[in-house]
Structure 1
Amino acid sequence: MDIKGSCSDQFSAVQEVFADALRNGTDVGASVAICLDGELVVDLWGGYADEARTLPWQRDTITNVWSTTKTMTALCALVLADRGELDLSAPVAKYWPEFGTAGKDHIEIRHLLSHTAGLPDWDQPMALEDLCDWEKATTLLARQSPRWDSRTTSGYHRFTHGFLIGEVIRRIYRESIGRFFADQIAAPLNADFHIGLAAEHDHRVSEVIPAPGPAPAANPRVSIPVGAYVTAQDTWSTHWRRAEIPAAGGYGNARSVAAVQSVLASGGRTSSARLLSETTCRAVFDEQSHGMDLVLGIPLRFGIGYALNAGDAPVSTPNLHTCYWGGRGGSLVVNDLDARMTIAYVMNQMSPLGLTDPRSQKLLRAAYRAVTR
């Protein structure tokens, strides 16, 4: 299987791992990118953009990256915090007054960013059309009570994360989070990532391919009722593409994910723009929770907007100041502020293994061998 793009000699092992996954069929179509000190040193893509394997994955192919989108939403909040327009320790109700009801008056912005707010889902079923209705989704969340009281215990906010943070940003910026991201982050960085996809990009979208086999069994540790559920096939709809679903509906490829997230790993600046101060970048590592996540049923350590490096976590690296998150199906982005490195992987073939997906784990290990040898 031919792959295209560029790769520095230092990271040749990453190219070999990537090529092997395409060759053996583990991947159908995919991309991997690495930025070091804000410079793109790996930019590879290959395989096919369709399940029938008739359309080549191109340089500008993009796909739905699911919850890797959350890292973009978090970055929007960090940019506003860096400008002094958002206080991460302020009550959410300071910016969104309607939120401060039903026992939520003490929930702070940092709790939204760390999945510790106790609002992991809606109290009622939410169909696809409900998730595409911003006013309905946010109004319902403003009326809910938290499902637990501890603000130091995480329970993954699968879809609510983006609506909660997005509404705060809308109240401050007077525009949607998709517009904020496009104007204030993607444009300065010239990054091809979208929260809410315009029709002009439809022709280059690779639809995600559902994971083979039955859905994984429910985790016995988890008893949080599910209000919103979306299938891979739901994301093929125009309705999903056009909506701004900032916890799971972002479109991009590894290059664009790395281009945006490398701002964090390189101390707030890339070759084209400075978006954050070093101080704000380091604020990500203010630990908010560490333990068994009430929704995912796995040990996680959360900081401000990102999961943090930890020995008991599904993603672990040699360096202390590493933060990450990934998307349903297997996409992943890792920011290492000590190595000043960002690693991004985006694919169309979904896997049920999430953060433990061997495809991303092998790429991660190869990247660290390259910078530590």
Structure 2
Amino acid sequence: MDIHGHTAPGFDAVAEVFGRNFKEHEEAGAAFAAYRDGELIVDLWGGTADPDSGRPYTTDTLQLVFSGAKGLTAACVLLLVERGLLDLDTPAAHYWPEFATAGKAGITVAEIMSHQARLPGIQAPFSEAEFLDPRHMAGLLAAQAPSDDPRAGFMYHALTYGWLAGELIHRVDGRSVGALFADEFAGPLGLDVWLGLPDAEHHRAATTLAGPGVLAPPPDDDPLRVLTRNPLAAPDAPALWNSAAFRRAEVPAVGAHVTARSMAGFYACLARGGELDGVRVMKEATVELGRRELRCGTEPLWGSPMAYGAGFELQTELGLFGPAPDAFGHAGAWGSRHGAWPGSRVGFSYAMNRTRAVWPDRRPLDLLAALHDALN
């Protein structure tokens, strides 16, 4: 397997681990990038973006990163908090009056951002076309009562997080999540990061592959299945993941397409307090607000320790984001990892097209361990 790209002096071990992932961990196509204090110190890619055509995975390949999108949506919400358009401690219904129905009048913006809204899944039926319409899905949530399942108060809102946050953004700003991110972050920072991929860019998108166990749903009578209905994990989900309709849609919790280099650049900006290459997109205090812990505990879907700030996942003993204790960011389902180590002023991103239902997934963890060792 040919590995492409470069590492700064002292970071050769990161490239060795990246290559080993292809030999030992069934990697198909992937990229890993990291910045330190604004300098690109790791930029690696290799493998195949599309197995049918043999198209190679390049530095410009756009990868669906599933819940890596949540960190982008979080930044958009935080920017509107900075501008005084949203307040984390205010009930969401203040900005979105229809949300007050069915016992939700007291649910705050902070509770939505930290997966405490008790709305982990959509209970009403919906079509695939409706699933790809964020305003429609937000309307379903506005009419839905919070779950009375005792586990729902700290259950990962895999899809609903994005529709809830996205509707708040639309109500106070008028733009969609994708448009706001493009205007306020991707454009100023020159990022190849998309929430809603234009048709003209679809040719760069990798084909996302389902590894063993990824599409094995819980039994029909499992309460967790009822709570969290997720078409992205259905047996025929890869056809949806790789469809033109899904790529162009804005699904703010799970629909981002990125290059690893640009996603690392986004988190490099946050690691530096909201500034990169002389361009400031957010105040340092706003980044710190996003890192402030709002809830921690055992997440009932996985039985694992999790901690959340205002939309970002925070480091716990689980070590999702490598060895750095101050890490934050967001993982993507079945492998991808994106985040910042503020103490080292490092931003990183690992993106890949073969999903794997394994824990721990050594692919990102070994890369982050090698990166941390090289830094220290």
Return the TM-score normalized by structure 2. Answer: 0.92
Instruction: Give the CA deviation at 1:83.
Output: 2.2
Alpha-carbon distance between aligned partners in 1 of 2:369 and 2:325, rounded to the nearest angstrom:
16
Instruction: Give the CA deviation at 1:353.
Output: 2.6
2:250 alignment partner in structure 1: 244
Structure 1: any 5+ residue segments left out of the alignment? none
Q: Residue 290 in 1 paired to residue 296 in 2?
A: yes
Q: Percent identity?
A: 35
Tell me which of 329, 336, 340 is aligned to 1:335.
340
Structure 1 residues 138 and 365, CA gap change in structure 2 (3 angstroms): same
Instruction: Give the CA deviation at 1:216.
Output: 4.7
Structure 1 residues 151 and 27, CA gap change in structure 2 (3 angstroms): closer
1:18 alignment partner in structure 2: 18
State whether residues 135 and 163 of structure 2, in contact with CA within 8 Å, keep that contact through their aligned partners in structure 1: no
Deviation by residue 1:287-336 (Cα, 9 ceiling, x = unmatched): 2221121333322111221121122x352644432113211121111211
Alpha-carbon distance between aligned partners in 2 of 1:371 and 1:132, rounded to the nearest angstrom:
42
Structure 1 residues 148 and 288, CA gap change in structure 2 (3 angstroms): farther
Alpha-carbon distance between aligned partners in 1 of 2:361 and 2:165, rounded to the nearest angstrom:
28
2:354 alignment partner in structure 1: 349
Instruction: Give the CA deviation at 1:150.
Output: 8.2
Instruction: Give the CA deviation at 1:272.
Output: 4.3
Q: Residue 268 in 1 paired to residue 274 in 2?
A: yes
Instruction: Give the CA deviation at 1:229.
Output: 1.6
1:73 alignment partner in structure 2: 73
Instruction: Give the CA deviation at 1:221.
Output: 9.2
Alpha-carbon distance between aligned partners in 2 of 1:151 and 1:280, rounded to the nearest angstrom:
30
RMSD: 2.2
2:363 alignment partner in structure 1: 359
State whether residues 125 and 227 of structure 1, in contact with CA within 8 Å, keep that contact through their aligned partners in structure 2: no
| Residue type of the alignment partner of 1:339 | S
For the residue of structure 2 that corresponds to 1:329, the secondary structure is helix
Deviation by residue 1:108-146 (Cα, 9 ceiling, x = unmatched): 111111111111111124442221122320111011111
State whether residues 216 and 352 of structure 1, in contact with CA within 8 Å, keep that contact through their aligned partners in structure 2: no
| Residue type of the alignment partner of 1:305 | G
State whether residues 213 and 356 of structure 2, in contact with CA within 8 Å, keep that contact through their aligned partners in structure 1: no
State whether residues 156 and 296 of structure 1, in contact with CA within 8 Å, keep that contact through their aligned partners in structure 2: no
Structure 1 residues 77 and 214, CA gap change in structure 2 (3 angstroms): closer
1:39 alignment partner in structure 2: 39
Structure 1 residues 83 and 10, CA gap change in structure 2 (3 angstroms): farther
Deviation by residue 1:258-290 (Cα, 9 ceiling, x = unmatched): 111222111111114111222111112322221
1:306 alignment partner in structure 2: 312
Alpha-carbon distance between aligned partners in 2 of 1:298 and 1:251, rounded to the nearest angstrom:
27
Structure 1 residues 89 and 352, CA gap change in structure 2 (3 angstroms): same
Alpha-carbon distance between aligned partners in 2 of 1:265 and 1:363, rounded to the nearest angstrom:
19
2:227 alignment partner in structure 1: 225
Alpha-carbon distance between aligned partners in 2 of 1:222 and 1:269, rounded to the nearest angstrom:
40
Deviation by residue 1:202-244 (Cα, 9 ceiling, x = unmatched): 1111110111357457498946523332212211111111110
Structure 1 residues 37 and 290, CA gap change in structure 2 (3 angstroms): same
1:371 alignment partner in structure 2: 375
State whether residues 76 and 180 of structure 2, in contact with CA within 8 Å, keep that contact through their aligned partners in structure 1: yes
Count of residues paired in the alignment: 370
Instruction: Please show how residues 156-305 of structure 1 align to structure 2 within 5 Å.
Output: 156-213=156-213, 215-216=215-216, 218=218, 222=224, 225-230=227-232, 231-305=237-311
For the residue of structure 1 that corresponds to 2:209, the secondary structure is coil
For the residue of structure 2 that corresponds to 1:246, the secondary structure is coil
State whether residues 32 and 349 of structure 2, in contact with CA within 8 Å, keep that contact through their aligned partners in structure 1: yes
Alpha-carbon distance between aligned partners in 2 of 1:123 and 1:111, rounded to the nearest angstrom:
20
Alpha-carbon distance between aligned partners in 2 of 1:218 and 1:358, rounded to the nearest angstrom:
24
Structure 1 residues 5 and 269, CA gap change in structure 2 (3 angstroms): same
| Residue type of the alignment partner of 2:363 | R
State whether residues 125 and 226 of structure 1, in contact with CA within 8 Å, keep that contact through their aligned partners in structure 2: no
For the residue of structure 2 that corresponds to 1:48, the secondary structure is strand
Alpha-carbon distance between aligned partners in 1 of 2:281 and 2:96, rounded to the nearest angstrom:
25
Higher percent of residues as helix = 2
For the residue of structure 2 that corresponds to 1:46, the secondary structure is strand
2:142 alignment partner in structure 1: 142
For the residue of structure 2 that corresponds to 1:67, the secondary structure is helix
Deviation by residue 1:68-93 (Cα, 9 ceiling, x = unmatched): 11111111111222222221211111
Alpha-carbon distance between aligned partners in 1 of 2:217 and 2:253, rounded to the nearest angstrom:
23
Structure 2: any 5+ residue segments left out of the alignment? none
State whether residues 39 and 271 of structure 1, in contact with CA within 8 Å, keep that contact through their aligned partners in structure 2: no
State whether residues 214 and 334 of structure 2, in contact with CA within 8 Å, keep that contact through their aligned partners in structure 1: no
Return the TM-score normalized by structure 1. Answer: 0.93
Alpha-carbon distance between aligned partners in 2 of 1:297 and 1:141, rounded to the nearest angstrom:
26
Structure 1 residues 217 and 129, CA gap change in structure 2 (3 angstroms): closer
| Residue type of the alignment partner of 2:119 | L
Alpha-carbon distance between aligned partners in 2 of 1:113 and 1:289, rounded to the nearest angstrom:
10
Alpha-carbon distance between aligned partners in 2 of 1:25 and 1:101, rounded to the nearest angstrom:
48
Alpha-carbon distance between aligned partners in 1 of 2:214 and 2:142, rounded to the nearest angstrom:
35
Q: Residue 324 in 1 paired to residue 329 in 2?
A: yes
Alpha-carbon distance between aligned partners in 1 of 2:148 and 2:371, rounded to the nearest angstrom:
39
1:110 alignment partner in structure 2: 110
